[in-house]
Amino acid sequence: MLIAANKAVSIDYTLTNDAGEVIDSSAGGAPLVYLQGAGNIIPGLEKALEGQAVGAELKVCVEPEDAYGEYAAELVSTLSRSMFEGVDELEVGMQFHASAPDGQMQIVTIRDLDGDDVTVDGNHPLAGQRLTFDVKIVAIRDASEEEIAHGHVHGEGGHHH
Ligand SMILES: [Zn+2]
């Protein structure tokens, strides 16, 4: 069986940036299980895995436009401290969930604090970065109709609901 749309795929992976720092890894834990063709993983990685078989080991280099997007300066804005009512102490690097104008949830990170001004950055923490994935394909199975309808994998490593 090869990886194609509507297959549930288990992978072991290590994600590093251009500086060689490990950003994320399944090492020491369970493999990542995702539904191919459903946008569960970044587009560049999904594309590279299409057609691969169990046991294959790949090094996949993904440019920002096929990962978390280019860094967008317009997503940086300055807010008043009063917007953060209920937060005891604001610190640079803190992250908050916020809803974007299009209704999508996004993570904003505090970049700077200056008096009443709080500079926040709505870029994904990995925006603008080229990412390298070392991937080993552990398992491939047909997804169930329910999983396909939901757009994600159920059971071990997947959604429980
Ligand atoms: Zn579901």
CA of 8 to the centre of ligand 1 (A): 13
Sketch the domain layout of the chain as residue ranges. Answer: 7-68+127-150, 73-121
- 2.40.10.330, 2.130.10.10, 3.90.1150.10, 3.40.190.10: which CATH number matches 73-121? 2.40.10.330
To the question of domain 7-68+127-150 being in CATH 3.30.1490.20, the answer is no
- pLDDT tens-digit map of 82-123: 988 888 899 999 998 877 677 777 788 999 999 999 999 999
Tens digits of residue pLDDT in 32-67: 999 999 999 999 999 999 999 999 999 999 999 999
Ligand 1 ion: Cβ-proximal residues, 5 Å cutoff: 150, 159
Cα(155) to centroid of ligand 1, in Å?
Answer: 9
pLDDT mean over 129-158: 96
Phi/psi-derived region of residue 157, left when phi > 0, alpha when psi is between -120 and 50, beta in every other case: left
Please give the model's pTM, rounded to 2 decimal places: 0.81
Nearest alpha-carbon partner for 11 in 66, 40, 54:
54
Helix (H, G, I), strand (E, B), or coil: what is residue 19?
coil
Ligand 1 centroid distance, CA of 156 (Å)? 12
Ligand 1 centroid – CA 148 distance (Å): 9
The pLDDT value given to residue 26: 96
How much is the pLDDT for 3?
Answer: 98
Expressed in angstroms and rounded, the spacing between residue 109 Cα and the centre of ligand 1 is 30
Paired sense of beta strands 95-99 and 105-114, if any: antiparallel
